[in-house]
Chains A and B, each alone.
Chain A
Amino acid sequence: MSNPNNNPWSRRHFLQASGALIGAGLAGCASTAQRGVARVVVVGGGYAGATCARYLRMWSDNRIDVTLVERDADFVSCPMSNLVVGGVRRIEDITLSRENLARRHGVRLLRGEVAAIDLDKRQVRLTTDERIAFDRLVVAPGIDFLWDSVPGLSAEMADSTVLHAWKAGPQTTRLHEQIRSMRDGGTVALCIPKAPYRCPPGPYERASTIAHYLKTHKPGSKVLILDANDDIQSKKGLFLKAWADHYPGMIEYRKDHVISSVDPTSKTVRFELGETVRADVLNVIPAQRAGDIARPFINRNGRWVGVNWLSMEAEAAAGVHVLGDATFSAPGMPKSGHMANQHAKVAAAAIINLLGGQPINDQPVVMNTCYSFVTDRSAMHVASVHQYDAGERTFKTVAGSGGLSTTASDREGDIALAWARNIWADVLG
């Protein structure tokens, strides 16, 4: 760890980090309040991390010292980003500042990148070599991509030609520009990875908002969905109905399309079943895993971080709370911004109690809603409520609760936008 060129996620580091678990575990049960102000470092300022930072301050009456480390200048929302892809919203509309977290809540905002997590010293080291000490650590890195799942495509190529646009930001705008400059009569191909991936209905929403744009501006064009799964993963009936109602003949859905290789130059994809598809705009969403920062804590399927759902503490590291898309999901629990926000509140409540030497809540509840737009105005939802099951030590969806819209509607489009405004205010203070 003293070598600045050391890869933080090397095997050596991993072993070091694991060796430090004992220290971290013991520290976790001391009542930190007796030693002065408790310090929590939150790494990642998205839906999960920013919410956690805010609620740690709010629910502790500002008694916990919270530092939020984030690489990017602004918060750019993944939810609603398909409206930018479809050209009915601008990237500015989904870009928000994190400064209220500092101004209204006293969170220390630190723009930077984490180079290493030292569980032994209980420090986070940034690439600038700055070190920040913590009593408890929150890691909310979102997802990173498994480039092996798309041979021929690299992070660099994916940034210039064959975009994923599965992290909201510059690629979101660029994907819209690619579609805007496509010839009328062209094909936009959208490749979906095997579940689990971030935002189950997201790819189908994207197909819809792209089709909406094409219908309005380039009516001879089409959207081709190439899904590695054997069926539409979310809101199937509602999407099929919306596509038939609004875009007859424009959206073609093909299942069981697992990518074997991608040629970014010719925008060609080959599939395991032998088929080859060439597109005018090729949007490939690679398979995903827990984000880089959480790598030392990955213990499920080599991809995700298993957590104790009462505290969101990583199974592989006491004192480290992992939130959001990076976690190994409970049954029926989607990887979504809404769910990430809910994880953050479970963690904030637990961390405050743990730091104060109090028992933690044994009956947490989380709920999820994902709104999907199918036109510029019309949206539909899927909702679920998840209660903790002490016997199985996981969250379970409540039988008879949750469900889908009866149909997409403009009324739910308005509610979806109100949801966005309210959750953004909840996340960012």
Chain B
Amino acid sequence: MKTTIAVAAIVTSLCTPSSPYAADPQLGRNLAATCANCHGTDGRSVGGIDSLAGQPKDTLVRKMTEFRNGSRPTTIMHQIAKGYTEQQIDLIAAYFAARQ
């Protein structure tokens, strides 16, 4: 098995593009998809938790900042918001703001 895995590894590296991991243009979409479990696919909630789709970017960034600094009442968002960088929150907010 060892040899087979080693061969597979070489093959993988041979066929990987020279700069395999450049910044992905879909980064905002991918990051926003981590919120969908609670806020709905593309931020369109089916109920019980607010939709994020269509909220202005600045509003979303402000709310996330308030979650992070503890000035907005929350059960869970303070813990989630602290897991993302400011740049990531910016990308997420831009993505949701662009969903009509």
- A selection of 24 A-B contacts at a CB cut-off of 8 Å is A25-B12, A315-B5, A318-B11, A342-B34, A349-B29, A357-B17, A359-B20, A360-B24, A361-B24, A361-B30, A363-B23, A365-B30, A365-B31, A369-B38, A369-B76, A381-B75, A402-B82, A403-B79, A418-B45, A421-B48, A422-B38, A422-B39, A422-B46, A425-B46
A386-B83, A422-B45 known; 19 new pairs, CB 8 Å cut-off, are A18-B1, A18-B4, A22-B7, A316-B5, A341-B37, A345-B33, A345-B34, A362-B21, A365-B31, A369-B80, A381-B75, A385-B80, A418-B38, A419-B37, A422-B39, A422-B49, A425-B40, A425-B46, A426-B36
Q: A345-B30, A383-B80 are in contact. Are A359 and B38 (CB under 8 A)?
A: no
Whether A132 is near chain B, meaning CB under 8 Å from some CB there, is no
Any B CB within 8 A of the CB of A394: no
A residues 35-90 near B (Cβ < 8 Å) are 55, 58-59
Q: Looking at A59, A363, A402, A419, which has the most chain B CB atoms within 10 Å of its CB?
A: A363
Report B40 CB to chain A, min CB distance, Å.
5
Closest 3 CB pairs of A and B: A385-B83, A418-B48, A29-B15
Q: Is A364 an interface residue (CB 8 A)?
A: yes
Give B contacts to A, CB under 8 Å: 1, 4-5, 7-8, 11-12, 14-17, 19-24, 26-27, 29-31, 33-34, 36-41, 45-49, 75-76, 79-80, 82-84, 88
Min CB distance B91 to A, Å, is: 10
Q: Least Cβ distance of B71 to chain A in Å?
A: 17
Chain A residues positioned under 8 Å from B38 (CB to CB): 369, 415, 418-419, 422-423
Partner of B15, one of A19, A25, A55, A387: A25
Say yes or no: A426 contacts B41, CB within 8 Å.
yes
User: Is there an interface contact between A415 and B49, defined as CB atoms closer than 8 Å?
Assistant: yes
A261 on interface, CB distance cutoff 8 Å: no
Per-residue interface assignment for chain A, residues 407 to 429, with 1 indicating a CB less than 8 Å from any chain B CB and 0 otherwise? 00101101101110111011001
- The answer, yes or no, to whether A277 is at the interface (CB within 8 Å) is no
Determine if A21 is an interface residue (Cβ-Cβ < 8 Å): yes
Flag if A398 contacts B5 (CB, 8 Å). Answer: no
Contact A359 B83 (CB under 8 A): no
Task: Let me know if B22 and A21 touch, CB within 8 A.
Answer: no
Identify A426's interface contact among B7, B8, B40, B79, CB under 8 A. B40
Q: Say yes or no: is A259 at the interface (Cβ < 8 Å to chain B).
A: no
Q: Are B33 and A360 in contact (CB under 8 A)?
A: no
Q: Report A1-55 residues with CB < 8 Å from chain B CB.
A: 18-19, 21-22, 25-26, 28-29, 55
Interface contact B11-A26, CB-CB below 8 Å: yes
- Chain A residues with Cβ below 8 Å from B27 are 361, 363
Using a Cβ–Cβ cut-off of 8 Å, how many residues does chain A contribute to the interface with B? Answer: 61
Task: Please name the residue on chain A nearest to B46 by beta carbon.
Answer: A425
- What residues of chain A lie closer than 8 Å to B19, measured between beta carbons? 359
Chain A residue numbers with a CB within 8 Å of B83 are 365, 367, 384-387, 398, 401-402
Chain B residues closer than 8 Å to A419, beta-carbon distance: 37-38, 48-49
Nearest opposing residue in chain A for B36, CB measure: A426
Cβ-neighbour of B11 out of A21, A59, A387, A421 (below 8 A) = A21
Instruction: Chain B residues near A411: list those with CB within 8 A.
Output: 75
State the Cβ distance, B35 to closest chain A Cβ, in Å. 8
Q: Which residues 326-381 of A sit at the B interface, judged by CB distance below 8 A?
A: 338, 341-342, 345-346, 349, 353, 357, 359-367, 369, 381
CB atoms of A19 and B47 under 8 A apart: no
A255 to chain B, nearest CB (A): 28
Looking at the complex, which one of A360, A385, A417 makes contact with B21 (CB distance below 8 Å)? A360
Which of chain A's residues has its CB closest to B14's CB? A29
Residues of B contacting A26 with CB < 8 Å? 11, 15
Q: What's the nearest-Cβ distance from chain A to residue B47, in Å?
A: 6
| Residue A310 CB within 8 A of the other chain | yes
Which of chain A's residues 158-190 have a Cβ closer than 8 Å to chain B? none
Please name the residue on chain B nearest to A345 by beta carbon: B33
CB atoms of A21 and B7 under 8 A apart: yes
Asked if A317 is an interface residue, CB under 8 A from chain B, the answer is yes
Q: Please measure, in the bound complex, the distance between the C-alpha atom of A385 and the C-alpha atom of B34, giving whole angstroms.
A: 10
Given A362-B24, A369-B76, A381-B75, verify A400-B37 contact (CB < 8 Å). no
Decide yes or no: A55 and B20 within 8 Å by CB, A21-B7, A369-B76 being known contacts: no
Contact A318 B8 (CB under 8 A): yes
In this assembly, does A123 line the interface, its C-beta being within 8 Å of a C-beta of chain B? Answer: no
CB contacts (< 8 Å) of A417 on chain B: these are 48
Among A29, A365, A415, point to the contact of B75 (Cβ < 8 A).
Answer: A415
A405 touches B (CB below 8 Å): yes
Contact between A365 and B76 (Cβ–Cβ < 8 Å)? no
Residues of B within 8 A of A364 (CB): 30
A326 to chain B, nearest CB (A): 18
Is B24 touching A359 in the complex (CB atoms < 8 A)?
yes
